[in-house]
Amino acid sequence: MTGVHIAAELPMADRHHVALHLAHRWFAFLEAPGGNLDSHLKMFHPQVRLTGHRRSHLFAQGHESLVTWFAAVPDAISSHHIVHSNYSTAENGDGLLNMVVAYQAPGQLEMHGSIISYETRIEFPAGSARFSALDKTPILPNKRLEYETSWSTNRVLTWVYAELGGITDSDGQLRSALGSNVQQISAQVTAPEGSRDYEALVTGISPTTGELRAVRLKLSDDIKANMPTVDNVQALVL
C-alpha cells in the first residue's frame, strides 16, 4: 500500500481509525532515518500546511517545502507517544484529529523533550485519506530523564488502525479478536528503532461489554515499507 487507499465511503468510526493510522505512521517516519519519502508524501495533500504555535508560524506549505522541512529534521532517534487524542468531523466532512504527544530526543549531554499539542485536518477524497493541515504547538516541557522508544509501538499501531479502518487486504483476524468497535487500544512493544523482527501485545476494550481483549502479534519490518508485515495474530484468553 503506497498511499492510504479506501475502497468506499467510510463510516465515522472507521474514519477515526484511519486518522490514527495516519498519525502513527507520521510519527514512526520521524523517529528513525531510512523511510521512503516519496511514499510518505502521499499521506499529505499537495498543498498541505504544516504550522506551529497555533498556526502563527508556517513550517511548510505544499510537498516541495515539506520535503525541505523533512531534510532539516535531525536523523537522531526520537520518540512520540500519543498520550491523548480526540476525533471529530468538520462541517465539510473532513476529520479533525487533535492529540497530546509526549516527545523525546536524546542529546549528547541531556534529554530534550516537550509535551506537544497537535491539531490536524484530514480529508477523505474518493478512495484515499490524507492530511491537509497540521499544527504542532509545544505546551509543556517533558522532564522525563529516561528515553522511552516509541518507534515499534507506532509501527504496530499503524498496522492495527489500518486493519480496523478497513484499508488493508485483511483476513479479518484482528477485527475478530478485538471487535470492530474496540476502544482504548494500546500496544506494548519496546523494540529499538529499525528492528527487523519483534512481537507486540495489543489490547482493547469492548464498548458494549467492557471486556478486555488482547492479541499477540509477531511482526517483520522493513523501515522503507509503510507498515510492518504481521506474520501471526494470536488471540489471548485473559
- pLDDT in the model for residue 109: 86
* 31 CB-near residues (< 8 Å, 6+ apart): 77, 78, 79, 80, 149, 150, 151, 154, 193
- Determine phi and psi for 56, rounding to 5 degrees: -85, -15
CATH code given to domain 12-141: 3.10.450.50
- pLDDT in the model for residue 24: 98
- Determine phi and psi for 43, rounding to 5 degrees: -80, -5
Residues 37-84 pLDDT 10s: 999 999 999 999 999 999 999 999 999 999 999 999 877 789 999 999
- pLDDT in the model for residue 6: 55
Q: How many CB atoms lie within 10 A of CB 44?
A: 21
At residue 144 the predicted structure's pLDDT band, cuts being 50, 70 and 90, is very high
* 221 CB-near residues (< 8 Å, 6+ apart): 152, 155, 195, 196, 197, 198, 228, 229
At residue 1 the predicted structure's pLDDT band, cuts being 50, 70 and 90, is very low
Q: Is residue 31 within 8 Å of residue 81, measured between CB atoms?
A: no
Average pLDDT over residues 171-190: 90
* 182 CB-near residues (< 8 Å, 6+ apart): 164, 204, 205, 206, 207, 213
Q: Could you tell me what percent of the chain has a pLDDT over 70?
A: 95
At residue 5 the predicted structure's pLDDT band, cuts being 50, 70 and 90, is low
In angstroms, the CA 235 to CA 238 distance is 10
At residue 170 the predicted structure's pLDDT band, cuts being 50, 70 and 90, is confident
- pLDDT in the model for residue 126: 78
Cell 476494550 sits on residue = 205
At residue 7 the predicted structure's pLDDT band, cuts being 50, 70 and 90, is very low
The three-class DSSP label of residue 66 is: helix
Q: Is residue 103 within 8 Å of residue 79, measured between CB atoms?
A: yes
Examine the pLDDT at 8 and tell me if it is beyond 70.
no
Average pLDDT over residues 176-201: 93
Examine the pLDDT at 14 and tell me if it is beyond 60.
yes
In angstroms, the CA 95 to CA 233 distance is 30
* 154 CB-near residues (< 8 Å, 6+ apart): 24, 25, 27, 28, 31, 80
Examine the pLDDT at 180 and tell me if it is beyond 80.
no
Q: Where are the domains of the chain?
A: 12-141, 171-236
Q: What is the rounded average pLDDT for all residues in the chain? A: 92
Q: How many CB atoms lie within 10 A of CB 235?
A: 13
- Between helix 12-31 and helix 151-164 the angle, nearest 10°, is 160
